[in-house]
Amino acid sequence: MLYRVAGQFKTSYQADYALFPVRQDAWLLVFILLLAFVVFPMTANEFMFRAMLTPVLIYSLAALGLNILTGYAGQLSLGTGAFMGVGAYACYKLVTIFPEMNIVVAIFLSGFFSAAVGVAFGLPSLRIKGFYLAIATLAAQFFLVWLFQKWAWLYNYSASGAIQVPNIKLFGVTVAGAHATALTQYYFVLCVVCVVTFLAINLTRGRIGRIWKSVRDMDIAAELVGINLMKAKLTAFFVSSYIVGISGALFVFLWRGAAEAELFDIQLSFKVLFIAIIGGLGSIMGNFLGAILIVALPVLISFVPGLLGLPIGAAMVEHLNVMIIGMLIIGFLIVEPHGLARFWAMIREKLIIWPFPH
């Protein structure tokens, strides 16, 4: 009923391939953006921003980058955390070497560093496939984290070995560092995420996106119809690592405020991979749904014992949380292996034909 498509006629191919072939989708997006830009900032408090809203956005962006590589181009990566680290350290070096540089420019430039590293570690994908390729990205993961620890130039020889974000102003407003408010940081992240997501949507439904999908579905067949595999795989690594690098820069500069090498360890890679898979491989929207589930749900779960008045210690809550997340992941994989995005697609189908099931 809500999704009645009757009466929306397409008279050209262009209209048929438009971003929103169904008008209600556009309305839904407007509604979500309204929530994100107006309602949340007006209602949420400091804790909500720091613990849920900003991290959800940043993790969504990281998962989006991974999803382009794994979900669209079919190349499994277990090194997302390290590529986020490259973005973060590159951004840190940029703002400390060129203090006048605009933070937006620095963040978008730092993506290129992680993209270069990503392409370098993506080169083996031309020869190695499937799970064997995971080893190349694992090598990147462990080697890069080791490099973050040992190469003192990266963290400006600070005694703690950690990078500390300086206070950075953008148009007179502090956006990064200890003096920034959670609200400005949230808006900053939200804008970056919106821009990158918009670009990613159009990239994946255009020519390059189709090339990636054909490589994912069967790379030999793709090669036979004249697709340059090397170009396709390396562009996927480039775009993916670029987005992941940006998310890493945001991760440290707009959320954590400080970081050391261990922050980018394999657990982070797995967390992002989970978001991408639970959300749905090969879907843009899935990343956001997955991030909400994986990032925000644990925060909510940790409140449950307190609300119920159960006398459970903080450590125990943490342990139970890990256990519940594990069960949820298995449960979701069993119920819907194609992720939350497929779930939404099914609901949407049902809504369109409702109330007549045939």
Partner 1 sequence: MEFIHPILIKPFADMVSAPDFLVQVLWEGIVSGVLYALIALGFVLIFKSSRILNFAQGIMVVFAALTLVGLYERGVPAWLALPLTLGVMLVLAIGIERVVLRPLVNQPDIILFMATIGITMFLIGLGETIFGGENKRMITEELGIPTGNFIFEPFGGFVSIEQKDLTAVIGAVVLVVVLLLFLNKSKMGRAIRALGDDHQAALSVGISLSTIWVLVWFIAGIIALATGIVWGARAGVSFALEVIALKALPVLMLGGLESVSGAIIGGLMIGILEKVFEIYWGQPLLGGSTESWFAYVLALLVLLARPQGLFGEKIIERV
- Does 341 bind partner 1 (CB under 8 A)? Our answer is no
- Does 89 bind partner 1 (CB under 8 A)? Our answer is no
Please list every residue from 96 through 115 that binds partner 1, using CB under 8 A: none
Q: Specify whether the CB–CB gap between 248 and 87 falls below 8 A.
A: yes
Q: Specify whether the CB–CB gap between 86 and 244 falls below 8 A.
A: no
Q: How many residues does the chain have?
A: 358
Token pair 């839904």 in the structure block, residue: 28
Indicate which single residue of 39, 316, 346, 353 sits in contact with partner 1 (rule: CB under 8 A).
316
201 CB burial (10 A radius; 0-12, 13-18, 19+): middle
At how many degrees (to 10) do helices 54-67 and 229-250 cross? 170
Distance CA 95, CA 77 (A): 29
- Does 224 bind partner 1 (CB under 8 A)? Our answer is yes
Compute the least distance from the CB of residue 255 to partner 1, in Å: 23
Indicate which single residue of 146, 198, 303, 354 sits in contact with partner 1 (rule: CB under 8 A).
146
Nearer to partner 1, 322 or 346 (CB): 322
Nearer to partner 1, 39 or 333 (CB): 333
Per CB under 8 A, the segment of 8-16, 99-107, 238-246, 310-318 that binds partner 1 is 310-318
Distance CA 45, CA 40 (A): 9
- Does 59 bind partner 1 (CB under 8 A)? Our answer is no
Distance CA 190, CA 32 (A): 12
Task: Report the largest interatomic distance among the alpha carbons of the chain, rounded to a whole angstrom.
Answer: 68
- Does 337 bind partner 1 (CB under 8 A)? Our answer is yes
- Does 150 bind partner 1 (CB under 8 A)? Our answer is yes
Q: Specify whether the CB–CB gap between 146 and 79 falls below 8 A.
A: no
At how many degrees (to 10) do helices 266-279 and 54-67 cross? 80
Compute the least distance from the CB of residue 7 to partner 1, in Å: 39
Q: Specify whether the CB–CB gap between 242 and 91 falls below 8 A.
A: no
Indicate which single residue of 132, 198, 303, 354 sits in contact with partner 1 (rule: CB under 8 A).
132
- For the record, the structure tokens of 58 come out as 């940043």
Indicate which single residue of 28, 139, 201, 301 sits in contact with partner 1 (rule: CB under 8 A).
139
Per CB under 8 A, the segment of 26-34, 109-117, 146-154, 297-305 that binds partner 1 is 146-154
Per CB under 8 A, the segment of 95-103, 178-186, 207-215, 311-319 that binds partner 1 is 311-319
Applying CB under 8 A, the residues found at the interface with partner 1 are 70, 76, 124, 127-132, 134-136, 138-139, 141-143, 145-146, 149-150, 218, 220-221, 224, 266, 270, 273-274, 277, 281, 315-316, 318-327, 329-330, 333-334, 337
